[in-house]
Structure 1
């Protein structure tokens, strides 16, 4: 069963992370077949598309999608690629504006004009983009495998199944167990109304770290004037979101931080910043944080609940080795992820050039 949310934002392929199956027997008209393209017809995802891949198996499409079967006189991949152009996105925006809310029906989709050269040329262009897609898929798989390796390594390290030895080949001391209250101090940031923020830097202004900053695609930057020292963080500090998207951890940033964050201070004589960063992002600790934050509409982690979380940690020397190993792997993931982004940008550029 394929829904709008099952279409990956980057690749536009069917995501099998949260598979659901329809109840009962559905009519064949809801079955997605070869040469079918699905179009999202409502909501913020209006215009989003998916082209059927036989490797995705038997799929039935959900009610917020429209199915179009491409005739044999055209190449379905060639048609699909035109839904990735600026021209198509602009058309989606204009059509949605006419109705007053995001949404395009089947009659409107039928009215869209595709550029259609000879079938021979369509096939050549489609094959070209299929090769690019294959390269992107291989690179995506490489990044995914590295991330899985990192998660597996973190599980081994923090469960103490994998241990380091010192320079003499001797085992390090056993790990200690403490609550966060015993090893760190935390404080919340400052809430500044949007009207009181600045969008340009200036003397006495400091970068304002908000949840918006955590979004990879965010272009917004805010600045505030003369914040108090208690809400200023340096690159030595660790920040963690305490409400909303609770549990997001960042470090190596400096500025004044929003009320949605905790600043986590620690003793550098006994704790390594990156070790704490990685243990905070580990699956068991993240699960505990989410659990304590609650399941309300806006999860909120209070001071006492955070302080109650217990962690195991080794001596400072072993912390350093663990942090160095994971940091090296992170650098490799970042490098391969940049290659992936570059390939996607190349594809976008080719699409715009090909369908001018």
Structure 2
């Protein structure tokens, strides 16, 4: 057998090829009868494919009883067992995870318990992770493409000595640890920003002006007193069709979906210019009343006329209002005008007229808006920097997975 492109210098032996079935016991779990309450609510963790995500599983969402274990095809697997999703929604199929607890699983998970004299389970975890796309493509044909126990047993592993396996796995685990710490740092920063925003917009924290004096009281204004609607049509046939992403804001549709989902003729779409806002009335996770985003990434772009588009007028700082909307400060106001029972495919029934006339905003003076925006921008810069570190480290790990295995 050949050797990988990247290898620790202390090793030179060739890697040997084995199948998963040759070096492990492969089995699957089961689901106790849901109709029997005596089977559920115990202390034995029960794992489903929703928890399998190239990770170590440290807890479960559901638990079964000893009676449920004995009275069903569920099996108790020991800590260190490697799980792979045989099927599941979206991209779940083919993902792997290591049990960090003793647990049972459902039948959609295959469990691999390796011969410890031949395979270090963490090494197998990373090698199967590196083969994820190929494993997915092995799925049986049919309405729902699934993997099977037989396919899992036929998967090939290339194995160096146990000592080298452990060193490779420990190195990759250290990279995972760094990614985990960066994600934790990002989550804490995001939580801090959220808490600060709440205090700023509730006026529990107030800035002073440059002379150390209080700013004037904030005014409650109708939306139309601060913003005007944008309805300019795409007469120039701009082809930069945009969609709203919760994380990435207004972004090119093809870049986001990897395909075009717009009409062929987009001359009837609204043409946005840099700094304009768009409100997508579709509710989604984190945006119960829809999302408002500002066009920051392009000079121009077009959106569906289902969006409500607008720009500020008068002495306003758009960076402040961008943070104001992102904090969900319009949710209660929009909820007042959204018609009950009129939700269709996730789309809120919000009247444009009521949106501009009946929705209220609480507006600080322009100077205070600027101070708030500047403060929150510093936090955003820190969040972006940590997020970039996460992406770079994940890219580094992806490269390692490609180069450290045969």
Task: Please confirm whether the aligned pair reaches a TM-score higher than 0.5, indicating the same fold.
Answer: yes
Equivalence for 1:175 = 218
Cα-to-partner distance string for 1:156-197 (whole Å, 9 max, x where unaligned): 111110101001100001111234244323457989xxxxxx
Query: Paired residue for 1:344, among 366, 382, 394?
Result: 394
Report the alpha carbon displacement of residue 240 of structure 1 after superposing the two structures with TM: 2.5
Matched, 1:147 2:210: no
Cα-to-partner distance string for 1:101-135 (whole Å, 9 max, x where unaligned): 32112222111111122111111111111111111
1:30 and 1:60 in contact (8 A); partners too:
yes
In structure 2, distance between residues paired with 1:31 and 1:251: 52
Matched, 1:34 2:79: yes
Shift of the 48–313 alpha-carbon distance from structure 1 to 2, 3 Å rule, reads same
2:277 and 2:295 in contact (8 A); partners too:
yes
TM-score when normalising by structure 2: 0.72
Equivalence for 2:32 = none
Match runs of 1:21-100 below 5 Å: 21-22=62-63, 24-25=65-66, 26-27=68-69, 29-43=74-88, 44=90, 45-54=92-101, 59-73=103-117, 74-85=119-130, 87-93=131-137, 95-96=138-139, 98-99=141-142
Shift of the 115–263 alpha-carbon distance from structure 1 to 2, 3 Å rule, reads same
User: Partner of 2:141: helix, strand, or coil?
Assistant: helix
Report the alpha carbon displacement of residue 79 of structure 1 after superposing the two structures with TM: 0.4
1:31 and 1:60 in contact (8 A); partners too:
yes
Matched, 1:210 2:243: yes
User: Partner of 1:47: helix, strand, or coil?
Assistant: coil
Query: Paired residue for 1:258, among 304, 318, 324?
Result: 304
1:178 and 1:310 in contact (8 A); partners too:
yes
Report the alpha carbon displacement of residue 98 of structure 1 after superposing the two structures with TM: 3.3
Equivalence for 1:232 = 271
Equivalence for 1:196 = none
Shift of the 296–6 alpha-carbon distance from structure 1 to 2, 3 Å rule, reads farther
Structure 1: runs of 5 or more not aligned: 192-202
1:39 and 1:66 in contact (8 A); partners too:
yes
Q: Which stretch shifts more, 299-308 or 323-332?
A: 299-308
Equivalence for 1:247 = 291
Matched, 1:321 2:362: no
In structure 2, distance between residues paired with 1:274 and 1:216: 27
More strand by share: 2
Match runs of 1:129-144 below 5 Å: 129-144=172-187
Cα-to-partner distance string for 1:265-307 (whole Å, 9 max, x where unaligned): 22141x2211111111114535765794876542324235644
Cα-to-partner distance string for 1:224-253 (whole Å, 9 max, x where unaligned): 77836x811111211222226431524314
Report the alpha carbon displacement of residue 23 of structure 1 after superposing the two structures with TM: 5.9
Paired residue total? 334
TM-score when normalising by structure 1: 0.81
Aligned-CA RMSD value: 3.3
Equivalence for 1:281 = 326
Report the alpha carbon displacement of residue 83 of structure 1 after superposing the two structures with TM: 2.0
In structure 2, distance between residues paired with 1:100 and 1:221: 23
Equivalence for 1:355 = 405
Shift of the 135–92 alpha-carbon distance from structure 1 to 2, 3 Å rule, reads same
User: Partner of 2:133: helix, strand, or coil?
Assistant: helix
More helix by share: 1
